Amino acid sequence: MSPPVFLAATAALEGERVVLDGPEGRHAAAVRRLRPGERVDLTDGEGLLAECVVAASDRASLTLDVVARHRQPPPRPRLVVVQALPKGDRGELAVETMTEVGVDEIVPWQAARCVTQWRPERREKALARWRGTAREAGKQARRGRLPEVSGLASTQDVAARVAAASLALVLHEEADAPLSAVEPPPDGEIVVVVGPEGGITGEELERFSAAGGRPTRLGPTVLRTSTAGVAAAAVLLAFTGRW
């Protein structure tokens, strides 16, 4: 069984002994009940992973000896999914599965046809849920680099990301070009735009196309917005050799 993964500050991982306290330490000691001699991995979420052995434990923290360190280089190309806000808890489901497969950045998008609205008074709370989901899913998936969850984007913001990308794909069920025909770049940033359950409007599609986005279809079926991103990511990660 693989050792559990916990988050720690970069500076802490540079030493030979680490004290894991706070919420991560309490979870490790009180919930996971880790004891001296057991293996634990610590990561800063930015590519540094330390293999550790528990030296001592109490009710709220662990003292760990670092036995090895690994630094993961930044991924090439970088994969960004712009995710229109799904209904209910499907947003967290989309974030969880995209984190598990290896998406590097998730951009929540307030598309025109989104039923869910992140109004100003609840925006930070909703964003915190997405970021918390990404953090926990990243630990579960043993990622040394956690995905970035950006702030809520407007259609104008998304068009700017599309224009700056090395390759930008707009998933659309009526597109002629299949995702399987796409040739990804070896470097830079791939941006995939996933529309809401009601679909991307004609105006949004025109705007993204004008910015350089390529309308692309996943396959013969229409996927829900919460699963389309992870399906596209799986294909692209395989094409780029990251899988």
> Could you tell me the CATH number of the domain that includes residue 59?
2.40.240.20
pLDDT of residue 207: 97
pLDDT more than 90, % of the chain:
94
Looking at 21, 37, 71, which one is the last position of a domain?
A: 71
> Which of 71, 87, 115 lies at the terminal end of a domain, its last residue?
71
Residues 197 and 92 reside in one and the same domain:
yes
The answer on pLDDT for 184 being more than 90 is yes
Domain range for 40:
5-71
Q: 220-227 — which CB contacts under 8 Å span 24+ positions? A: 222/173, 224/86, 224/90, 224/197, 225/83, 225/84, 225/86, 225/90, 225/94, 225/194, 225/195, 225/196, 225/197, 226/86, 226/90, 226/91, 226/93, 226/94, 226/97, 227/94, 227/97
Q: Please compute the mean of the pLDDT values over residues 215-228 and round it to a whole number.
A: 92
User: Taking 90 as the threshold, does the pLDDT of residue 219 lie above it?
Assistant: no
The pLDDT, as a whole number, for residue 127 is: 96
223 and 170 housed in the same domain? yes
Residue 8 has pLDDT above 90, yes or no: yes
Q: For 28-86, what is each residue's pLDDT tens digit?
A: 999 999 999 999 999 999 999 999 999 999 989 999 999 999 999 999 999 999 999 99
pLDDT digits (tens, 9 = 90+) for 120-170: 988 999 999 999 999 999 999 999 999 999 999 999 999 999 999 999 999
In which band, very low, low, confident or very high, does the pLDDT at 213 lie, cut at 50, 70 and 90? very high
Cis before residue 77, ω within 30 degrees of 0?
A: yes
Residues 57 and 165 grouped into a single domain: no
Whether residues 67 and 93 share a domain: the answer is no
From 12, 1, 13, select the one nearest 50 (Cα to Cα): 13
What CATH code is carried by the domain that includes residue 150?
3.40.1280.10
Last residue of a domain, one of 21, 47, 71: 71
For residues 103 and 221, state if they share a domain: yes
Same-domain pairing of 155 and 228: yes
- Tell me: the pLDDT tens digits for 90-118? 999 999 999 999 999 999 999 999 999 99
Per the structure, the count of domains in the chain is 2
Same domain as 165, residue 54: no
139 and 158 part of one domain: yes
Inform me whether the pLDDT recorded for 1 exceeds 80. no
Q: Is the same domain home to 16 and 131?
A: no
Are residue 48 and residue 98 in the same domain, yes or no?
A: no
115 shares a domain with 24:
no
Percent of the chain with pLDDT strictly greater than 70: 100
My answer on whether 166 and 209 are in the same domain is: yes
